Amino acid sequence: MRIGIDLNGVLRDTLGKIEQVYDKFYVSNDGEESDFKYEIIYPINSLNLMNHFKFVSGDDLYNFLYVEHPMEIFGHAASVEYTSMNDLNDFYIDMRDKHEIIIVSDEIGKSKPATLFFLSKFSCLIENIMFYSEQTKNNMIGTIDVLLTANPDLLLKEFDNLKVIKFEQEYNKDSKAKHSINKLKELKDKILEIC
């Protein structure tokens, strides 16, 4: 069986790092370059970044994430849990003989090398990494049997022949899932339960 583990929200606290970098480079420097007021709108309870971080335009958001600060955001983010990568590596060692384990991540542009830096920084042992975008998401979904994700967009959809496990986060509380876990340590038992 092929098990996909989504990076953002499961292993990497991308949203928390976006908030930190945005505050440092935009809110703290507000007023220096333009009349536009950058601000954070709390609570941050969705992945729709434009609802929580004020940008002049969608292009401004894109430049923030993928041109100006991809290494700060995607490479230097913290892990979701203090022991996330150790727990993932333990899961991999226990399950690699029975299952193919793949890190999957929605990445574009310079976030890809920054993500590889993140994985190496935390000593990820998994050798299979699959980057996907909105255009290639269906291809990623078609190549795995089980997906662990915190992404509400992936939790809201029905997929043929794909079992989805929800990793509980504040921003996906309203997303329903047949299977869910709160900590990565719970993944092995959940896989044994559903397979």
Inform me whether the pLDDT recorded for 165 exceeds 90.
Answer: yes
Q: Give residue-wise pLDDT tens across range 104-152.
A: 999 999 999 999 999 999 999 999 999 999 899 989 999 999 999 999 9
Q: Are residues 23 and 85 in the same domain?
A: no
Q: Which residue has the tokens 């899932």?
A: 177
**Would you state the pLDDT for residue 160?**
80
Same domain, 121 and 152: yes
Residues 134 and 51 occupy one common structural domain: no
Structurally, the chain folds into a number of domains equal to 2
Shared domain for 70 and 128, answered yes or no, is no
Domain range for residue 25? Answer: 14-75
pLDDT, tens digit (0-9, with 9 covering 90-100), for 16-35: 999 999 999 999 876 555 67
Does residue 177 share a domain with residue 104? Answer: yes
In this structure, the answer to whether residues 58 and 91 fall within a common structural domain is no
- Check whether 195 has a pLDDT greater than 90: no
**What pLDDT is recorded for position 92?**
98
28, 118: one domain: no
| CA–CA separation, 147 and 2 (whole Å) | 9
Alpha helices, DSSP H only, in 33-176? 58-63, 70, 84-95, 111-121, 137-142, 152-155
pLDDT of res. 156: 77
Among 75, 94, 113, identify where a domain stops: 75
Which CATH number characterizes residue 159's domain? 3.40.50.1000
Q: What was the pLDDT predicted at 32?
A: 56
Q: For the chain, where are the alpha helices, taking DSSP H only?
A: 14-22, 58-63, 70, 84-95, 111-121, 137-142, 152-155, 187-194
* 63 shares a domain with 99: no
Of 57, 75, 93, the one marking the end of a domain is: 75
Do both 35 and 67 map to the same domain? yes
CA-based nearest residue to 38, from 18, 21, 56, 20: 56
Buried/exposed code over 90-117 (b: 16+ C-beta within 10 A; e: otherwise): bbbeebeeebebbbbbbbeebbbebbbe
pLDDT in tens, 54-90: 999 999 999 999 999 999 999 999 999 999 999 999 9
Return the pLDDT at 77: 98
Q: What is the dihedral of CA 19, 21, 26, 32, to 10 degrees?
A: 150
- For residues 91 and 176, membership in a common domain is answered with yes
Query: What's residue 159's pLDDT?
Result: 80
Radius of gyration over every alpha carbon of the chain, rounded to an integer in angstroms: 17
Q: Are residues 117 and 178 both part of a single domain?
A: yes
Which residue, of 59, 75, 91, is where some domain finishes? 75
Q: Is the bond preceding residue 43 a cis peptide, omega within 30 degrees?
A: yes
| pLDDT tops 90 at residue 187 | yes
Considering the domain architecture, whether residues 86 and 53 belong to the same structural domain is answered as no
